Amino acid sequence: METTPSRVVKLAVIPGDGIGPEVIAEAEKVLDAVTAGSGVTFERTRFALGAGRFLETGDTLTDADLAAIASHDAILLGAVGGTPGDPRLKDANIERGLLLRLRFALDHYVNLRPSKLYPGAPGPLAEPGDIDFVVVREGTEGPYVGNGGSIRVGTPHEIANETSVNTAFGVERVVRYAFELAERRRKKLTLVHKTNVLVNSGSLWKRLVDAVGAEHPDVAVDYLHVDAATIFLVTNPGRFDVIVTDNLFGDILTDLAGAVTGGIGLAASGNINPDGAFPSMFEPVHGSAPDIAGQHKADPTAAILSVSLLLDHLGLAEQAARVTRAAEDDIAARDDSPRTTMQIGDAIVERLRA
């Protein structure tokens, strides 16, 4: 007879390519360990998607795949993408046809990317200070919409355009999310854009941050051009609390943020649909790293911290905090001796059980 209340979460798991399956295996071990006996069961469906599947079958993400994934409560993704330069993968069909298609079709308008310098994590900065901020990257608009085209391709008269599309609807909802997050944190929000060049979209972002900011008088708001923001990320990252920015600037800033906080082997992310209309998707910021795939060298910590974001999103705040703490403790105890992907996963599971 069961005594704990029982809840079933339908989880779609997309291990993906390269190191994806390796880090996801560890993330799942952590998920199992932290939810054991909690009354929450993760009912998993595995989706074999990615460059591997595409090369075998020619399919990237079929409508049937998408519908099946969408019927889940949440998604855990490893990494997708084949070997750079593989001519069979041209036109970025995996990135656009799979990863970005999921983010757009499932309306993941918040791409949440926390950056924290964990004690013990080796970073490149001489004097990093306290780093603890979250980038709220818009996920469904901007230069990522695929609204471009070329004419006279291959001739000296070729013209290639890319149009960034930005809407009040799309910007306002992500800005609201960022302000609400800032309210729960240190109450500081920085808008990053390039309003002095991208005057139309920049003005839209600026006005909406001002308008929503007026409803949050305790949140201190500032603005940085994206170029200046990269300077502060290396000279004074401690100045940031919540950064809200567009899809492309967020992509750039979060890789840089990952680097200054000890490498993207530690950087977790959530592609979130806050309305709950679609399942949110959690994934490490890093890619499939085909160069080290199969060597058990990949650090699964980013995937494991993505599980923490997943748990938090599902309202399992206590379990989320336990995962983060176990990962943090593991990071703090690291020395120079190399460990395999599995050894790191096991060590974190060990700490969870202790």
Ligand X SMILES: CC(C)[C@H](C(=O)O)[C@@H](O)C(=O)O
| Distance (Å, whole) CA 105 – CA 67 | 10
Phi, psi (deg, nearest 5) at residue 57: -115, -15
**What residue has token string 């923490």?**
308
| Distance (Å, whole) CA 257 – CA 116 | 9
User: Has 109 been annotated as catalytic?
Assistant: no
Bridge partners, 111 (sequence order)? 137, 271
Sign, Cα dihedral of 33, 302, 127, 333: positive
| Distance (Å, whole) CA 238 – CA 258 | 14
88 binding a second copy? (CB under 8 A) = no
Bridge partners, 284 (sequence order)? 268
Query: Contact with a second copy (CB under 8 A): which of 43, 86, 227, 318?
Result: 227
Say if residue 156 carries a ligand binding annotation.
no
144 binding a second copy? (CB under 8 A) = yes
| Distance (Å, whole) CA 117 – CA 257 | 10
Query: Contact with a second copy (CB under 8 A): which of 204, 212, 268, 304?
Result: 204
The nearer residue to a second copy, 78 or 143, going by C-beta atoms, is 143
251 binding ligand X? (CB under 6 A) = yes
156 binding a second copy? (CB under 8 A) = yes
Instruction: Give the single-character DSSP code of 120.
Output: T
Q: Are 74 and 313 in contact (CB under 8 A)?
A: yes
Site string for ligand X, 85-114 (x = CB under 6 A): ----------x---xx--------------
User: How would you list the strands of the sheet with 132-138, edge to edge?
Assistant: 40-46, 7-16, 74-79, 280-284, 268-272, 110-116, 132-138, 242-245, 188-193, 220-225
User: Has 227 been annotated as catalytic?
Assistant: yes
68 binding ligand X? (CB under 6 A) = no
260 binding a second copy? (CB under 8 A) = yes
105 binding a second copy? (CB under 8 A) = no
Catalytic residue (choose from 144, 241, 246, 330): 144
- Give the binding-site size for ligand X (rule: CB under 6 A): 8
Query: Contact with a second copy (CB under 8 A): which of 8, 48, 67, 168?
Result: 168
Say if residue 277 carries a ligand binding annotation.
no
Say if residue 251 carries a ligand binding annotation.
yes
Closest approach, Cβ 86 to a second copy, in A, equals: 13
Site for a second copy in 57-86 (CB under 8 A): 84
Q: Are 63 and 104 in contact (CB under 8 A)?
A: no
| Distance (Å, whole) CA 222 – CA 210 | 10
Closest approach, Cβ 148 to a second copy, in A, equals: 4
Instruction: Give the single-character DSSP code of 339.
Output: -
The nearer residue to ligand X, 35 or 288, going by C-beta atoms, is 288
User: Has 251 been annotated as catalytic?
Assistant: yes
14 binding ligand X? (CB under 6 A) = no
Say if residue 250 carries a ligand binding annotation.
no
- 135: which residues sit within 8 A by CB, 6+ positions away? 112, 113, 114, 115, 243, 244, 245, 250, 253, 254, 257
Q: Are 31 and 23 in contact (CB under 8 A)?
A: no
Catalytic residue (choose from 59, 86, 210, 227): 227
87 binding a second copy? (CB under 8 A) = no
316's contact among a second copy, ligand X, none, with CB below 5 to 8 A by partner kind, is none
Q: Can you read off the two tokens belonging to residue 74?
A: 């949440």
The nearer residue to a second copy, 118 or 144, going by C-beta atoms, is 144
157 binding a second copy? (CB under 8 A) = yes
Phi, psi (deg, nearest 5) at residue 216: -130, 70
197 binding ligand X? (CB under 6 A) = yes
Active site residues: 144, 194, 227, 251, 255
Binding interface with a second copy (CB under 8 A):
84, 91-92, 95-96, 100, 123-127, 143-144, 146, 148-150, 152, 154-169, 172, 194-204, 207, 223, 226-228, 230-231, 233-235, 248, 251-252, 254-256, 258-260, 263-264
